[in-house]
Amino acid sequence: MGSTQWPLRTALLSEISREGHEAFSLPKNRAFPEVPQPKKGRKARAALPELSELEVVRHFTLLSQLNYSIDGGMYPLGSCTMKYNPRINEHTASMPEFVHLHPRTPDHLVQGALELMYNLENALAEISGFSRVTLQPAAGAQGEYAGIRMIRACLQARGNARRKILIPESAHGTNGATAAICGYEVVNIPAQVNGLTNLAQIEQLTREGDVAGIMITNPNTLGLFEGDIKKLCDLIHEREGLVYCDGANLNAMLGITRPGDAGVDVMHFNMHKTFTTPHGGGGPGCGAAGVSKTLIPFLPYPTVEKSPANSELFMLDNNRPQSIGKVKDYFGHFLMMVRAYTYITELGNDGIRKVGEDAVLLANYVRMRLKDHYQIAFDQACMHEVVFTDKKQNANGVKTLDIAKRLIDLGFHPPTVYFPLIVPGALMIEPTETECLDTVEKFCKAMIQIAEEAKEPDAFQRHFANTPKEMPYARINETKAAKDLILNWKDLSHSPGGPSQDNR
């Protein structure tokens, strides 16, 4: 990461700024007549920095060198599906005829965009076994929100609104937060010994008749396929509830099985996981949602339809009286949809199947290579990710966090740590299918080396204290950040350890 001949850090834009520097190139005026000054003008000019273009380019180039990225190395992050972001996606998403399209342009002038959305929806529906798909949600969490809202709307329409949602303890944090902001009371389902949901337990919890539904993740957050999924869906439906499935782990199922077939009513897609839209350092995502026939009337509006007058034409349908409304303005992250569509088109049906297979194969490779070195949470064939605990290493004073930070020194981003919460000291590993076996093996070797180091006497002091040591940045003090709470460069009077003027 980063060449040592370059300065390793860069000052803040506010520190590089010099009065009179400029990097913009705008017409001086357009020969328009002068406009009177605003009556309530801004009192002081916005104190934005002033830099030359070279300073800006250099600043961000140097910053980029401090980032780990998929382009630079493997991310074995469980549940994140950090697969390669194909560049052809960037090419298609930057076509000017997509980029400069205003979202309120009349339908007949944006037929290409509508057709693309229509085709993408159909492809996703086919991949997941749902009847219809909405592309409106901005990210997974919003897709989740739309899903629970549709469940709520459906039950209300039936005249049988209920107050509770069941969520397994192993679920992702967004599940509980989403249920809460939809006005539901969350009932936590305690985890079972084998990590899978227990039908008898669910049967008991739904007996009262006040359960609107269940939010499950399949494969679950331990990387295991919920074999009872169809029975679970049948049970919930019998009790007049609906089933939401968190689609974060869809990668494991591509071409192998479909949640819609098992009876799931709604599932959100993480396009930025399964369908390679880029993570961009934390967003934007793209969170479509697939629904069963039951929930179609409640989809957010507008939906993309073929024109009733002419099936060659596409239109946006705002006339959806039972719709939950709009979870975000306009139609969703269109330019991300172009990327996902490109990817699915490139894979095709044969490629999609290979994605699911290879993802599962590589995760099981990691499982077999590491299970003698790390305690595995559940010793059975996994899907696309595998979960270990730090129990063996902890006995010698080395914890999951230490393993993670040490791994950075060995050239890898750490796996997902401390999730799911039901596994103490969890290490969740998902290699993804875009990594070749050599890379995955290198990762396994690094993990094995760490396990060996953790066995040594005084292991923590010898290998794990103060890691990472090889990076431009040593262990970062997160406690100090929370205590000092400096969130704006305006608060900086003096910043200790900032780069010297020479390094600007």
Partner 1 sequence: MSEIKKDLLYTKDHEWVRKGDSVTSVVVGITDFAQAALGDVTFLQLPPVGTVFKRHDIVGSVESVKAVSDIFAPLSGTVSKINETLVADPAPLNTDPFGTAWLFELEVTNENEFKDLLTPDAYATVAQ
Partner 2 sequence: MRYLPLTEAEKQNILGLCGVGSFQELVSSIPEELQLKGLLDLEPGLSEMEIIGRISKLAKKNKAAGMVSYLGQGAYDHSWPVVIDQITNRGEFLTAYTPYQPEVAQGTLQAIFEFQSMIAEILGLEVANASLYDGSTAVVEAVLMASRIQAKKTGRILVSEGTYPHVMEVLRTYLTPLGISIETWVSDPSTLLVSASALEKQLGGSQPTDIIGIVLQSPNRFGLVEDWAELKFASQNLKATSIGFVSHPHALALFESPGEADIDLAVSEGQSLGIPVGFGGPYLGLFACRKKDVRQMPGRLVGLTEDANRQRAFCITLSTREQHIRRERATSNICSNQSLMALRATVYLSLMGREGFRRVAELSRAAAHYARQGLKALLNKEARDLVVVEGEAFNEISILVPSKYALWPETLQAAAESQNILAGLSIDVPRASSFVSGLAFAFTEKHEKKDIDDLLRVVELTLKKFHK
State which of positions 310-339 bind partner 2 (CB under 8 A): 324-336, 338
Q: How far, in Å, CA of 54 to CA of 41, rounded?
A: 32
Q: How far, in Å, CA of 333 to CA of 124, rounded?
A: 16
Determine the interface stretch with partner 2 among 121-129, 200-208, 239-247, 288-296 (rule: CB under 8 A): 121-129
Of the candidates 252, 279, 262, the residue with the CA atom closest to the CA atom of residue 214 = 262
Determine the interface stretch with partner 2 among 77-85, 198-206, 237-245, 288-296 (rule: CB under 8 A): 77-85
Distance of CA 45 to the CA centre of its chain: 38
Of the candidates 69, 84, 67, the residue with the CA atom closest to the CA atom of residue 432 = 84
Which of 180, 238, 293, 372 contacts partner 2 by CB under 8 A?
Answer: 180
Residue 444: CB minimum distance to partner 2, A:
11
Q: Residue 478 interacts with partner 1 (CB under 8 A)?
A: yes
Q: Residue 53 interacts with partner 2 (CB under 8 A)?
A: yes
Residue 72's binding partner among partner 1, partner 2, none (Cβ under 5 to 8 angstroms by kind) is: partner 2
Which of 7, 66, 132, 203 contacts partner 2 by CB under 8 A?
Answer: 66
Q: Counting beta carbons within 10 angstroms of the beta carbon of residue 175, is it exposed (0 to 12), middle (13 to 18) or buried (19 or more)?
A: buried
Residue 21: CB minimum distance to partner 2, A:
7
**Residue 327 CB: number of other CB atoms within 10 A?**
18
State which of positions 223-242 bind partner 2 (CB under 8 A): 224-225, 227, 229-230
Q: Residue 483 interacts with partner 1 (CB under 8 A)?
A: yes
Nearer to partner 1, 367 or 405 (CB): 405
Residue 485: CB minimum distance to partner 1, A:
9
Q: Could you write out the three-class secondary structure of 329-385?
A: CCCCCHHHHHHHHHHHHHHHHHHHHHHHHHHHHHHHHHHHHHCCCCEECCCCCCCCC
Contacts of the segment 110-116: beta carbons below 8 A, 24+ positions apart: 111/313, 111/314, 113/334, 114/304, 114/314, 114/315, 114/316, 115/314, 116/337, 116/338, 116/341
State which of positions 407-446 bind partner 1 (CB under 8 A): 418
Residue 164: CB minimum distance to partner 2, A:
12
State which of positions 118-177 bind partner 1 (CB under 8 A): none
Determine the interface stretch with partner 1 among 56-64, 343-351, 383-391, 479-487 (rule: CB under 8 A): 479-487
> For the window 248-287, what string marks contact with partner 2 as x by the rule CB under 8 A?
-------xxxx--xx---------------xxxxxxxxx-
Q: Residue 489 interacts with partner 2 (CB under 8 A)?
A: yes
Nearer to partner 2, 182 or 427 (CB): 182
Phi, psi of 34 (to 5 degrees): -65, 145
Which of 132, 155, 176, 446 contacts partner 2 by CB under 8 A?
Answer: 176
Q: Is 33 helix (H, G, I), strand (E, B) or coil?
A: coil
Q: Residue 479 interacts with partner 1 (CB under 8 A)?
A: yes
State which of positions 144-173 bind partner 2 (CB under 8 A): 144-145, 149, 152, 172-173
> For the window 13-32, what string marks contact with partner 2 as x by the rule CB under 8 A?
xx--x---xxxxxxx-xxxx
* Preceding amide of 49 cis, omega within 30: no
Residue 418: CB minimum distance to partner 1, A:
8
Which of 5, 40, 193, 308 contacts partner 2 by CB under 8 A?
Answer: 40
Determine the interface stretch with partner 2 among 82-90, 205-213, 237-245, 454-462 (rule: CB under 8 A): 82-90
7, 499 Cβ separation under 8 angstroms: yes
Determine the interface stretch with partner 2 among 57-65, 234-242, 385-393, 449-457 (rule: CB under 8 A): 57-65
Residue 346: CB minimum distance to partner 2, A:
6
Q: How far, in Å, CA of 52 to CA of 55, rounded?
A: 5
- By CB under 8 A, the count of residues binding partner 1 is 6
Residue with tokens 């608060």: 491
Q: How far, in Å, CA of 2 to CA of 472, rounded?
A: 9
- Torsional class of 282: left (φ above 0), alpha (ψ -120 to 50), beta (otherwise): left
Residue 296's binding partner among partner 2, partner 1, none (Cβ under 5 to 8 angstroms by kind) is: none
Residue 157's binding partner among partner 1, partner 2, none (Cβ under 5 to 8 angstroms by kind) is: none
Q: Residue 183 interacts with partner 2 (CB under 8 A)?
A: yes
What does each C-alpha distance from 438 to 334, 351, 448 come to in angstroms? 36, 21, 15
Which of 131, 194, 349, 461 contacts partner 2 by CB under 8 A?
Answer: 349
Q: How far, in Å, CA of 453 to CA of 451, rounded?
A: 5
Q: How far, in Å, CA of 455 to CA of 358, rounded?
A: 33
State which of positions 428-457 bind partner 2 (CB under 8 A): 433-437
Those residues with Cβ within 8 angstroms of residue 170's Cβ, 6 or more apart along the chain or in another chain: 191, 195, 217, 220, 221, 222, 420, 421, 422
Q: Binding residues for partner 1, per CB under 8 A? A: 418, 478-479, 481-483
